[in-house]
Structure 1
Amino acid sequence: MLIPNVYAETLVQNLEGGMDIEITHPGEIVVGREGIISILVKNNGWEEKQDISFEFLVSEIRGLNVEPKNIIIDKLAQGGSYGENINLYITDNANPGIHFLNIKYSQVLVSNNKTPQEPFFYDIAIPITIKADPNVTIYTKTPESIFANAEFPIEVGVISEDIDITDVRIKIISPKDIEFRGETSHTFSKIQKNTPIGITSRIITPTDEVNTEYKIPFEIIVQYTDDVGEQKEDSQTVSVTLRPRTFMELTTDGGIWIGSFFIAPYVSLGTIIGIPAGAIISLLVRRKASPKKRSKKKKV
């Protein structure tokens, strides 16, 4: 069984005599974890091959174990293929970084399917990145700035790039003068590897207006249990600018502030926009002006 492409990389080699080799291997592997290297050999030439072998030189990388260390294929006829999986394990004393697993390949071409030729040798290098710890990445999306007496969304996403994680808890911690609509703590029994999840809450800003801009910090904390049973915690801090409200502000829920006057989102904005500004001013002026008394007609 080949490793899914999302987790692996494939190295293709086209060798002498129409021999094609595909090696699928983990692009990254975490210390203390296991992986699989899959090898598929195809004889696309018209002559038979024999004594095909792969030798893994694992001693060149500290903390790398491979089983089996040698693969031998006695014979591969024209159009034939052979596949095998190799177990890969990284011990706790491995050095993180990019390493190259070297493979010695050899084959014997059978000329006219009768006469074996001299062995053919070829060196293959597989790049493997060893990571000290699994990556659990936090993504946060907030407005660039916020203002008083309004609501704004805050979105948090989490993705585990290397392992499945369980007992996951995501918390959003804000300053004392900031409230939320919705939950600020979410739990998940399991998050699968490379499967992003997201949560959304709404920031409720203080009702008192501010005169200057200043930063408000929000801390995102993710607690989880990794694939070897260890409890881990990752965090991220993002800052949002709290600023004075301008004369006209649109809110995220469709409302609009005009000065200190708020028009709720359920009022048709199209109705408001449809009235010319001059007409609105004219109406306001007429309201302020006192009504004139009509003169009575004299009877003749």
Structure 2
Amino acid sequence: MLKGLCAFPLTPLKDGEIDEKAFTLLIENLLEANVDSIGALGSTGSYAYLTREQRKHATEWAVKAAGKLPVITSIGSVRFEEVLQLADDAQKAGVSGVLMAPVSYQKLRSEEVFELYRLVTRELSVPLCLYDNFSTTGFEFTDELLIELAQLPNMGSIKLGSLPATRDEAERRLTRLRSAIPSTVTLGISGDAQSPRGLLAGCDVWYSVLGGLFPRYTRRLARAAMAGDEALVNRLSQKLDPLWALFARHGSLRVVAAMAEMQGKVQAPCLPKPLNALQGTERALLQQALQTLDELS
């Protein structure tokens, strides 16, 4: 399914509605930067805060602006019936795949998560990317469950939320998973600070938050990692350490939203209420960091 850099842009809001012009410009920037695919309406795209109608329109706009570039969009929702409706909307819009995390108010059990994916995949005509995001869903996938889910029809990719800290351990985990899942299912990594290391260890895809705003730099970093150029990866990634530190303290969404506002890419405030982009002293630190990172723009 997906390989390389999958960039996840913001879904900027203005007075509670999606700013179509700003959103389209963000997508067009990704197209011009020649990323490998676009992840519309991921966590960075605030999908969980939007109505079905808003998500439908945003998906349509993303597919139109992206041209021939593959677009995936999130269909995650607390209500199972809405998941199916969102999947139908996305497929009618012409997406290349869909993305789904096991969103729930009640903590889910493994058998419930399996049943969710089983029921959804059988209704799809495009590949599904399994979204492992413990920090937002509270559900922790075991490798055994990932392997079981990978056998379902229309499974296209697994977006891993974490990898072991050392290169050897990460490679061993990826080797175990790859040996047990169909060759048609790619393994991706999210969490930008760890993602270059994940690509070096053998992941196929970097599902990138930073890539949604700064696709050229992250594309260069992804290409270096996939070519096995560890020295260049380390140099490029170390320059981003101030951003990674802010991501760790505040979450990537608030930081990326603040950067987009600072650069005039979106109107402030751009996040759904009650979320706020980075403010105060930490925003000033972010501004200082950006001034030393001319390569990002």
The TM-score by the shorter chain falls in which range?
Answer: under 0.3
